[in-house]
Amino acid sequence: MGSLPVPSVQALVAATGGDDAAAEAVTCDGDGDGDGEAQIPIIDHRRLLLELDHGGEESARLHRACQDWGFFQLVNHSVPDDVVESMKANIQQFFQLPAETKKRFAQEQGQLEGYGQLFVVSEDQKLDWADMLFLYAQPPERRKTKFWPDQPATFRYSGALKDVSDSLLATMAKNLGLKRETIADKCIRGMQSFRMNYYPQCAQAEKVVGLSPHSDANLLTLVLQVNHVQGLQIKRNGSWLPVKPVPGAFIVNIGDMLEVFTNGRYRSIEHRAVVDPKEERLSVAAFHFPDMDAMIGPLKELTAHEDDAYKTLDLESFMKIFFATKLEGMSFLDRMKLN
């Protein structure tokens, strides 16, 4: 499950000054800015926790967001401010390291973890305008700490975010008429991975894309905006809509696995990242998965009186298929559908 080695876009921009030559060196199928702005739902985590046993307006708002949008912004969450700020500083400091220093964290052949890029499966493939650091954070025995620039800050962030993800999955299960532990029990030893993203500025930003259109393979993704530059866009009714992050919020989206688990009740949505012509953008996405021995398929508790709309695969096979192909819209989820 590796990715072919590619040049660092950050180093390329440093060498060319981000002029037109840089846009030609990494050619992508960008198609300009999005239309309008996506006013995705805002969910108050503190209220959700108060409603966990008996439901309420905030739980109902979350249910509608998962059905209609597949995206929401989570405010008043339980991750302490100092933990969030330490993580932001950690990411900024890593990408400010000299190019030769960052090479010490480079991905090894055939492996996902480390500094480099993902989903590059062909030397002829058009590349994204981004560099990234990919890490496994949970369960602890999966961590390869030689790739981790600052372990304590990342470990604290990892644990706090896993708690948020588990609480959201509990509320979602209850909203679906299930026992609240139905999904969370599949995640007791669940995997968590981080993708720390660096999107350099590009003078011809309309000709490149920071992260190709795709849906996420996992259950839930929690994205933290590291600096002030925006770039996330979601596809809705055929149009690309920019998402404006709320200060202090996590942007949360439903992944393919949760759409499969819910037999299509909750939606995994196509999204992408665009780049800015003048300023770099940084973000970190935390991907949450079930346990390694979990089967990925429609939950039997939901399909007693309906047909399965998706295939059932073991998690390892699911992930091998996902990482072996380039990001291409909703193509991966489409391959999971039975009809």
Average predicted confidence (pLDDT) for the chain: 86
Predicted confidence (pLDDT) per residue in 126-176, tens digit? 778 888 899 999 998 888 888 877 666 788 899 999 999 999 999 999 999
Q: What is the DSSP string of 152-163?
A: HHHHHHHHHHHH
Q: What is the pLDDT of residue 21?
A: 46
Residue 333 lies in a domain: no
Task: Check pLDDT > 50 for residue 25.
Answer: no
Number of domains in the chain: 1
User: What are the residue ranges of helices labelled H in 137-262?
Assistant: 151-175, 181-184, 256-261
Q: How confident is the model at residue 32 (pLDDT cuts 50, 70, 90)?
A: low
In a domain, 328, yes or no: no
What is the per-residue pLDDT for 116? 76
Q: How confident is the model at residue 240 (pLDDT cuts 50, 70, 90)?
A: very high
Tell me the C-alpha distance between 223 and 284, whole Å: 6
Entry pTM: 0.89
CATH no. for residue 56? 2.60.120.330
Domain range for 14 is 9-290
Between 149-158, 217-226, 311-320, the lowest mean confidence (pLDDT) is in: 149-158
DSSP per position, 131-145 = EEEEEEEESGGG--G
Give helix then strand counts, H and E, for the chain: 11, 14
Model confidence at 66, pLDDT cuts 50, 70, 90, reads: very high
Q: Which candidate, 79, 84, 80, places its Cα nearest to that of 166? A: 79
Q: Is there a domain that residue 191 lies in?
A: yes
- Whether the bond between 139 and the residue before it is cis, its omega within 30 degrees of 0, is yes
- Residue 283 DSSP SS3: strand
- In order of 14, 15, 198, the CA distances from 207 in angstroms are 19, 19, 18
In a domain, 77, yes or no: yes
- Rank 97-101, 174-178, 292-296 by mean pLDDT and report only the highest: 174-178
What's the pLDDT at 118?
A: 57
In a domain, 122, yes or no: yes
Say if 315 falls within a structural domain.
no
| Residue 113 is assigned to a structural domain of this protein | yes
Q: Is residue 217 part of a domain?
A: yes
